[in-house]
Amino acid sequence: METHFQNAPFKASLDANKEYWYCTCGHSSTFPFCDGSHSGTDKTPIKFSVESDTDKWLCRCGRSGRKPYCDGSHQQQS
């Protein structure tokens, strides 16, 4: 199964008090948001929300220590 991890964050416009699910498996067709593709894996999505309408940078490399948010890990050498 193909993964959708990328070496750059995703700018998401998020609505206040709405539940979002961040994909941790990398297989979601709506990556970085979960579409249920983790079914059958040991991965589980991360539920998150924001208190006010805002734009946030979401991790797409899979290495952030602040998931679902980007912490710049994509800029580090592996």
pLDDT per residue as tens digits for the range 23-70: 999 999 999 999 999 999 999 999 999 999 999 999 999 999 999 999
Burial of 73 (C-beta count, 10 Å sphere; 0-12/13-18/19+): middle
pLDDT number for residue 3: 81
pLDDT at 1 over 80: no
Instruction: Name every residue whose Cβ is closer than 8 Å to that of residue 22 and which is 6 or more positions away in sequence.
Output: 32, 33, 34, 45, 46, 47, 48, 58, 59, 67, 68
